[in-house]
Amino acid sequence: MKLQNNTILITGGTGGFGFEFASRLLALGNTVIITGRNWEKLQEVKKQLPAVHIIQSDVSRAEDISHLYETVTREFPALNILINNAGEMRKISLHHQHELTDITREIEINLMGPIRMVQQFLPHLKKQAQAVIVNVSSGIALMPFPISPIYSASKAGLRSYTQALRVQLKKTNISVMELVAPGSTTALNDKFINEDGFNPKALMAPDKIVAAAIKGMQQDKEEVYPGLAKIMRIISRVAPKLALAQAGKMGASYMYGN
C-alpha cells in the first residue's frame, strides 16, 4: 500500500520500535497517533516529534481500549492503520514466588492487548477504503526463550492469532501483517545485559527493523522477518530441539540457580 496520507495508531510509541515507526511514518506524510502508559514519556516524544498525537492508554486495560476507541474515532475518523506494538518482556524464574495476578502480565499486554484492540477497532477499519493491521510478534514466537516463559507464550499466541485473523479477514478491505522481529537494542533488552550467554552483538538496531517493516507494508507482505529472524525461522523448523537447547543457555544460572 502507499504509505502516505494514512491515519495510523501505534500502541507503545514512546520508545524502541514504536518511536521509530512514529518518526518514519510521520516523515512519509501520515497522521500518527501514539499511546503509552507514561504521560511524561508521551510529552517527551511530542517535543521531539511535534506533529505526533499522543494519548495515554494502557493496552492491558479493556476500559482504556474502549476510551481510546471513542477518542481516536471521534478525533481521527480516517484511521485506517493499527500497529499493535506495545509490549513488555520480563525474565522470570518459575522457581520464585509470583502473585497469580502478576505472573500473566505479558499475556495481558502482548496478547490480550492486540486481541482486544483488533476487536474494538475492526468495525471502524472495515469502513475504510483500505486498512492494515500490523501485529509485532517476535522471533521468540517461533522458538521459546526459557528465561522469559510468559513472554514466549504471549508471542507464540499472538502469532497464532494473527494467522487466524488474516484468514478471517481474507474477504475484507483489511490486510494483516506480522512483524517477526529479532532481538534489538531497545530498552526491552536492558534487563538481560548481565545474564550469562547474552550477546549484545546479536541485537539489531531498531531503525533497521522498522525500515524492513515499513518496506513490508509498502509491498503488502503478510510476514516480515528482518535479520536474524530469518535464520530463527529456518532453525525452528529444521532443528527445534537444538534451537530450544541453545536458547536455554541464556541466563542459565538465573533459571536453574533458584
Ligand X SMILES: NC(=O)c1ccc[n+]([C@@H]2O[C@H](COP(=O)([O-])OP(=O)(O)OC[C@H]3O[C@@H](n4cnc5c(N)ncnc54)[C@H](OP(=O)(O)O)[C@@H]3O)[C@@H](O)[C@H]2O)c1
Site for ligand X in 108-167 (CB under 6 A): 109-110, 136, 138
The pair phi, psi for residue 212, each rounded to 5°, is -65, -40
173 and 1 Cβ atoms separated by less than 8 Å? no
Catalytic entry in 151, 161, 225, 256: 151
Q: Which of 6, 9, 18, 255 binds ligand X (CB under 6 A)?
A: 18
The footprint of ligand X on this chain (CB under 6 A) covers a number of residues equal to 32
Among 6, 7, 30, 60, which residue sits at the site for ligand X (rule: CB under 6 A)? 60
Residue nearer to ligand X on the CB measure, 4 or 48: 48
Considering only residues 167 to 196 of the shown chain, the ones binding ligand X according to CB under 6 A are: 181, 183-184, 186-189
Residue 77: Cβ within 10 Å count: 11
Q: In the complex with ligand X, which residue's Cβ is closer, 4 or 230?
A: 230
Tell me how far, at minimum, the Cβ of 127 lies from ligand X, in Å: 25
Q: For the CB of residue 135, give the shortest distance to ligand X in the complex, in Å.
A: 9
Q: Which of 11, 30, 31, 80 binds ligand X (CB under 6 A)?
A: 11
- Are the C-beta atoms of 106 and 157 separated by less than 8 Å? no
Q: What angle do CA 123, 88, 90 make, to 5 degrees?
A: 150
Nearest residue to ligand X on Cβ basis: 16
Q: Which is nearer to ligand X, 57 or 175 (CB)?
A: 57
Cell of 153: 507464550
Q: How far is the CB of 148 from ligand X (least distance, A)?
A: 10
Closest CB 129 distance from ligand X, rounded Å = 28
Q: How many CB atoms lie within 10 A of CB 204?
A: 17
Judge whether 151 counts as a catalytic residue.
Answer: yes
Catalytic positions, please? 151
Where along the sequence are the contacts to ligand X (CB under 6 A)? 11-18, 35-38, 41, 58-60, 85-89, 109-110, 136, 138, 181, 183-184, 186-189
